Amino acid sequence: MADFSLTLNEDQLQIQKWVHDFAENVIRPAAHEWDEREEFPWPVVQEAAKIGLYGFDFLMNAMVDTTGLTLPVAIEELFWGDAGIGMAIMGSALAAAGISGNGTPAQVMEWVPQCYGDENDVKLGAFCVSEPDAGSDVSSLRTRAVYDQASDEWVLNGTKAWITNGGIANIHVVVAAVEPDLKGRGQASFIIPPNSKGLSQGQKYLKHGIRASHTAEVVLDDVRIPGSCLLGGKEKLDAKLARARERGHSGEKQPAMATFEATRPSVGAQALGIARAAYEYALEYAKERHAFGKPIIMNQAIAFKLANMITEIEASRLLIWRAAWLARNGGFTNAEGSMSKYKASETAVRVTEEAIQILGGYGYTREYPVERWHRDAKIHTIFEGTSEIQQLVIARAISGLRIE
Ligand SMILES: Cc1cc2nc3c(=O)[nH]c(=O)nc-3n(C[C@H](O)[C@H](O)[C@H](O)COP(=O)(O)OP(=O)(O)OC[C@H]3O[C@@H](n4cnc5c(N)ncnc54)[C@H](O)[C@@H]3O)c2cc1C
């Protein structure tokens, strides 16, 4: 077990600086353009792949860090650069986490690298859980997976909604109902290999923020995949279903829930990066901008806003680091992952709004980045578990009760 320390080690400091430099020199100058274009920023992701920031190796190196802090530290810098481009770079990690969380070691080695490709041929992964009628309530997925014993194939049908990299990914990881009556306990995760017949992109969503990140519907129309694409294997699934049928309540986590739980500190780190960007910008602005003959920061009304912003940011980082450390060292006991995501997301929304206020009229225009950061921050209270769902998870953990 690694000790919990607030002092980053040499490797972590190096990675922090490396990502920060890329965010400052490559991502920030491109951020406004890709937000306006509302398209996937392929050239920037290719640059990230060239230096090894987008890729399987980077993710693996970050994951083996026993303190758990490398990933949130890197993500904070990346999203400090820009959240839309940051999501374009991090989106495949959710698919990778879905595979690692549910797949056998052989499946992880086969499919996770294919979510990234290489520097000369960049590929993407997509993790497809949400549906038009099932976002927070992932236990009621309608997408069906039916086993065809004669051909040892699975046949998938359904529609997935709001999928990051949906339709443009090389690998789609799809969570589907095998036995709908068992709700979440009757679900399994599947790999849809590249160019599978029957998988297509539905509508591409036009969004409020993180507009450089691609979000679309994924339609599955009689998609046939080999039996080996069931993550974890058939034997394990059959045993799980049998237990669920017998007991009616197996106590096992849904595959989608398990993935989201493990990735929550990282999502908190995304929000933290946006909040810090807005705070730093607003602080500098408040020192320069004069009104009534003095810098606006000389008014307590403005200075106290900044004091509150940095306090909330620092508190969020402490929760994120603690949760990231716990995820690698002993696990969560009181929904600490949810606490970190909840706190950082709400902080990012508040801090970016205050940053607009501090910049006044300029802050409201697209000439300055703070309005973009505010738009980008908002998604963090919605995806990977809304703020209300985080509160629900925390409330259940502290009470031991099935609070509705
Ligand atoms: C840009 C973007 C990217 C996304 N990427 C992905 C992706 O890659 N893969 C994926 O699978 N999904 C993705 N999503 C989907 C996202 O995870 C869902 O939108 C989210 O989980 C919320 O689900 P919903 O939209 O159906 O809202 P609903 O579940 O309908 O919730 C609506 C409101 O009701 C509240 N609510 C619901 N149930 C309760 C309750 N029990 N108690 C209290 N309040 C409740 C919610 O908090 C929310 O405020 C993405 C979404 C967006 C917008």
Q: Which of 312, 384, 388, 404 is catalytic?
A: 384
Could you tell me if the CB of 130 is within 6 A of ligand 1? yes
Q: Is the pLDDT of residue 260 over 80?
A: no
* Residue 132 resides in a domain: yes
The yes-or-no answer on residue 336 being catalytic is no
Could you tell me if the CB of 383 is within 6 A of ligand 1? yes
Same domain, 42 and 170: no
Q: Is the pLDDT of residue 95 over 60?
A: yes
* Residue 404 resides in a domain: no
Same domain, 332 and 377: yes
pLDDT score for 255: 55
| Top mutation candidate among 129, 142, 172, 382 for ligand 1, by most atoms within 8 Å of CB | 382
- Rounded to the nearest whole angstrom, what is the distance from the C-alpha of residue 379 to the centroid of ligand 1? 10
Could you tell me if the CB of 95 is within 6 A of ligand 1? no
* Residue 2 resides in a domain: no
Which tokens go with 299? 């008014």
Look at residues 122, 155, 185 and tell me which one is the last residue of a structural domain: 122
Q: Which domain holds residue 331?
A: 255-399
Same domain, 353 and 394: yes
User: pLDDT tens across 333-359, in order?
Assistant: 889 999 999 999 999 999 999 999 999
* Residue 224 resides in a domain: yes
Could you tell me if the CB of 388 is within 6 A of ligand 1? yes
Q: Which CATH number covers residue 178?
A: 2.40.110.10
Could you tell me if the CB of 392 is within 6 A of ligand 1? yes
Same domain, 160 and 89: no
Q: DSSP assignment of 191-209, as one string? A: EE-TT-TTEEEEEEPP-SS
Mean pLDDT for the chain overall: 95
pLDDT score for 254: 55
| Phi, psi of 251, rounded to the nearest 5 degrees | 75, -5
Could you tell me if the CB of 135 is within 6 A of ligand 1? yes
Same domain, 354 and 331: yes
Same domain, 275 and 390: yes
| Top mutation candidate among 383, 392, 394 for ligand 1, by most atoms within 8 Å of CB | 383
Alpha carbon 221 to its chain's center? 27
Q: DSSP assignment of 150-176, as one string? A: TTTEEEEEEEEEEEETTTT-SEEEEEE
pTM of the model: 0.96
| Neighbouring C-beta atoms of residue 184, cutoff 10 Å | 20
Same domain, 197 and 297: no
Q: CA angle 93-233-169, nearest 5°?
A: 30
Which tokens go with 250? 């197996």
Same domain, 268 and 368: yes
* Residue 260 resides in a domain: yes
Atom of ligand 1 nearest to the CA of 389: 47
Q: Is the pLDDT of residue 2 over 90?
A: no
- Rounded to the nearest whole angstrom, what is the distance from the C-alpha of residue 135 to the centroid of ligand 1? 4
* Residue 81 resides in a domain: yes
Q: Where are the beta strands (DSSP E) in 195-311?
A: 199-204, 215-226, 290-291, 294-295
User: pLDDT tens across 201-236, in order?
Assistant: 999 999 999 999 999 999 999 999 999 999 999 999
pLDDT score for 250: 45
Same domain, 117 and 19: yes
